[in-house]
């Protein structure tokens, strides 16, 4: 029997953008339903557990701008969640360590300190580095200022308030490198953290690079208790204010009649009706599959079909029964060579042997003493590298989102084993020996990522190009009542970018400048409605939604 129910708003997908938007709609009096096909909410912020001893973050490796006046704390505080998410700051003198042959640079907090550190490391490039950081700092400041402004400015006002962005924002990072006369080694150091957005200097815009860099130079942090606490707190706010999260609930179709959205149809036949649907699902899958291209104009369909995705990642999740040698509380960005533009060309051509790049994130350093991370005396860390785009490299045909069963595919298993071995070998080059102490090792490929998030290309970073360099779709669509949110929209990638996009959309729908309001201290949610957190509070259980918290199959620690 087909079940039908009615809501004020339905959010498809529970990544950070979708949850933030849903929670703000709920605290503003809307009846909101969030539907998530996975077992838990959170998208790229979710965690998984192994051996009842180790918890691994999928996508939260560090967060920027979480100190006083920070964007993410303001977003949570506006929902009444102040104090429910706390942040541990990483090393202010070097939260990212960049290692090239013969050169190590520790990235400190603040544009001035960053510029000084770079010019000391590369004195022959001083003039070019100072010009580069001056432009990027200005673009970053303008971007943040506009994010915190009330309402949407006119074009004339926008140009007047963002002159450096108007000149440089849509140009590529390589163009700025050329303008500053920087050599390959300096370019590599300056773009070393570009895997944070999955694009090389010839594809990434100055706006993207500047916004991400500015974000972290305001301070690098890690959420105490791991990434799942972010999603769990948002679910608490949503449900406390009358909203509902349903996990293991896959939307098969977004329903459209006469140019306006009417609700969603579920796998199994149930229908949920609403005059407002927000898709936090993959943009391309939303347009081409969930809605159907017949409901969009030719230009949107053409751009979507021809879009290029940011590069995906492969990740090793590693636990050892011994602590790693003493090191700073910093991520590691390790490069075999010092020509980053050549590196991205290698990835595109699938010539990544020997492995040219690794990123390492050390959860047991960032969140010491948290029981779920690992037992005392053990280590928990992740090692990542960018991968060639597309299925061919992995020996896969259509991918798991289309229903392909790939895990017993011999070509896939062979490629996965080869890359795992290459990543382990390179990680020991970078970190020293640790293999004999491994007690858990697990590899996630872009195909794994697609299986859990249904993201096109298996990338956590969304669209790289949608109709031109730096172009991305807005949250609005041509279909009345249908909006988009998440890492594919123009508001940017990462946890904070997605959360800011969710805020921007909620503000549009409510007719309020929400980001500016909450940054000034406005409180929309009612903290008194939030549930008490008993001893043993588990963010993973909360993130299943109240209807499934006690369902079987929840992995636990201890």
Chain segment 24-45, per-residue pLDDT in tens: 999 999 999 999 999 999 999 9
Local confidence band at 4 (pLDDT 50, 70, 90 cut-offs):
low
Structural domain ending residue among the three candidates 165, 200, 217: 217
Mean pLDDT of 402-414: 90
From the centroid of its chain, how far is CA 21? 16
Q: Are both 315 and 456 inside the same structural domain?
A: yes
Number of domains in the chain: 3
**pLDDT for position 558:** 81
What pLDDT digit, counting tens, does each position of 340-388 carry?
999 999 999 998 989 999 999 999 999 998 889 999 999 999 999 999 9
Eight-state DSSP code of residue 492: -
* pTM, rounded to two decimals: 0.96
Q: Report whether the peptide linkage leading into residue 354 is cis, meaning its omega lies within 30 degrees of zero.
A: yes
Q: Are both 329 and 449 inside the same structural domain?
A: yes
**pLDDT for position 407:** 85
Query: Does residue 105 lie in a domain region?
Result: no
Q: Are both 334 and 263 inside the same structural domain?
A: no
Query: Does residue 58 lie in a domain region?
Result: no
Q: Are both 531 and 443 inside the same structural domain?
A: no
Mean pLDDT of 304-323: 96
Strand, helix or coil for residue 429: helix
What's the domain range around 177?
A: 110-217
Mean pLDDT of 471-488: 94
Residue whose pair of structure tokens reads 């011999």 in the numeric block: 410
Q: Are both 157 and 187 inside the same structural domain?
A: yes
**CA–CA gap between residue 535 and residue 59 (Å, rounded):** 26
Q: Are both 362 and 275 inside the same structural domain?
A: no
Across-strand partners of 161? none
Query: Does residue 98 lie in a domain region?
Result: no
Q: Are both 456 and 316 inside the same structural domain?
A: yes
**CA–CA gap between residue 419 and residue 415 (Å, rounded):** 6
How many other C-beta atoms can be found within 10 angstroms of the C-beta atom of residue 296? 20
What pLDDT digit, counting tens, does each position of 247-271 carry?
999 999 999 999 999 999 999 899 9
Local confidence band at 3 (pLDDT 50, 70, 90 cut-offs):
low
Q: Are both 295 and 337 inside the same structural domain?
A: no
% of the chain at pLDDT higher than 70: 99
Is 1's pLDDT higher than 60? no
Structural domain ending residue among the three candidates 192, 217, 242: 217
Query: Does residue 55 lie in a domain region?
Result: no
Query: Does residue 548 lie in a domain region?
Result: no
| 324 contacts 434 by C-beta, under 8 angstroms | yes
Q: Are both 478 and 514 inside the same structural domain?
A: yes
Local confidence band at 470 (pLDDT 50, 70, 90 cut-offs):
confident
Query: Does residue 493 lie in a domain region?
Result: yes
Q: Are both 256 and 180 inside the same structural domain?
A: no
Residue 300: CATH number of its domain: 3.50.50.60
| Average of per-residue pLDDT values in the chain | 94
C-alpha separations of 366 from 26, 49, 94, 212, 256 in Å: 33, 17, 13, 20, 46
Local confidence band at 156 (pLDDT 50, 70, 90 cut-offs):
confident
Is 153's pLDDT higher than 80? no
What pLDDT digit, counting tens, does each position of 78-130 carry?
999 999 999 999 999 999 999 999 999 999 999 999 999 999 999 999 999 99
How many other C-beta atoms can be found within 10 angstroms of the C-beta atom of residue 224? 14
Query: Does residue 547 lie in a domain region?
Result: no
**pLDDT for position 157:** 76
**pLDDT for position 2:** 54
Q: Are both 80 and 150 inside the same structural domain?
A: no
Cα maximum dimension of the chain: 73
Query: Does residue 53 lie in a domain region?
Result: no
| 198 contacts 360 by C-beta, under 8 angstroms | no
**pLDDT for position 495:** 93
Q: Are both 337 and 435 inside the same structural domain?
A: yes
| 170 contacts 469 by C-beta, under 8 angstroms | yes
Is 133's pLDDT higher than 60? yes
């Amino acid at each position: 029997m087909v079940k039908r129910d009615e809501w004020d708003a339905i959010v498809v997908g529970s990544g950070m953008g979708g949850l933030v938007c849903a929670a703000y709609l709920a605290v503003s009096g809307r009846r909101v339903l969030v539907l998530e096909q996975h077992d838990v909410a959170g998208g790229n912020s979710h965690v998984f557990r192994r051996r009842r001893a180790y918890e691994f973050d999928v996508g939260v490796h560090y967060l920027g701008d979480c100190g006083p006046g920070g964007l993410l704390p303001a977003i949570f505080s506006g929902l009444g969640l102040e104090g429910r998410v706390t942040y541990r700051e990483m090393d202010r003198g070097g939260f990212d360590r960049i290692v090239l042959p013969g050169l190590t640079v520790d990235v400190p907090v603040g544009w001035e300190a960053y510029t000084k550190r770079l010019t000391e490391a590369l004195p022959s490039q001083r003039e070019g580095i100072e010009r580069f950081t001056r432009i990027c700092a200005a673009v970053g400041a303008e971007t943040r200022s506009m994010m915190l402004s009330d309402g949407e400015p006119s074009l004339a006002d926008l140009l007047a308030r963002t002159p450096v962005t108007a000149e440089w924002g849509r140009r590529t990072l390589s163009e700025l490198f050329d303008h500053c006369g920087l050599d390959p080694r300096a370019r590599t150091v300056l773009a070393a953290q570009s895997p944070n957005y999955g694009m090389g200097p010839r594809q990434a815009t100055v706006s993207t690079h500047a916004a991400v860099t500015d974000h972290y130079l305001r301070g690098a942090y890690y959420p105490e208790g791991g990434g799942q606490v972010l999603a769990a707190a948002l679910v608490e706010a949503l449900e406390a204010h009358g909203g509902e999260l349903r996990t293991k609930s896959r939307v098969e179709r977004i329903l459209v009649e006469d140019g306006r959205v009417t609700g969603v149809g579920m796998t199994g036949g149930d229908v949920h009706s609403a005059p407002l649907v927000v898709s936090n699902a993959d943009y391309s899958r939303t347009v081409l599959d969930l809605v159907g291209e017949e409901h969009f104009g030719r230009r949107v369909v053409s751009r979507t079909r021809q879009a290029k995705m940011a590069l995906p990642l492969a990740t090793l999740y590693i636990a050892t029964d011994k602590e790693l040698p003493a090191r700073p509380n910093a991520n590691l960005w390790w490069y075999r060579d010092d020509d980053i533009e050549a590196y991205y060309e290698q990835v595109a051509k699938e010539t990544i042997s020997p492995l040219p790049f690794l990123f390492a994130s050390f959860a047991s350093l960032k969140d010491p003493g948290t029981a779920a991370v690992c037992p005392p005396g053990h280590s928990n860390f992740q090692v990542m590298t960018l991968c060639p785009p597309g299925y061919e490299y992995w020996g896969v045909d259509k991918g798991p989102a289309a229903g392909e069963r790939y895990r017993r595919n011999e070509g896939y298993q062979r490629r996965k084993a080869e890359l795992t071995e290459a990543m382990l070998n390179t990680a020991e080059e970078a970190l020293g020996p640790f293999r004999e102490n491994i007690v858990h090792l697990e590899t996630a490929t872009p195909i794994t990522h697609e299986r859990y998030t249904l993201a096109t290309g298996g990338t956590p970073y969304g669209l790289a190009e949608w109709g031109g360099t730096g172009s991305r779709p807005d949250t609005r669509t041509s279909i009345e009542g249908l909006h988009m949110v998440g890492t594919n929209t123009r508001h940017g990638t990462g946890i904070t970018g997605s959360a800011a996009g969710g805020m921007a959309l909620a503000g549009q729908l409510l007719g309020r400048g929400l980001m500016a309001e909450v940054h000034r201290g406005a409180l929309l949610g009612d903290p008194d409605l939030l549930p008490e957190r008993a001893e043993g509070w588990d963010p993973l259980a909360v993130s299943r939604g109240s209807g499934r918290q006690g369902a079987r199959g929840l992995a636990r620690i201890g």
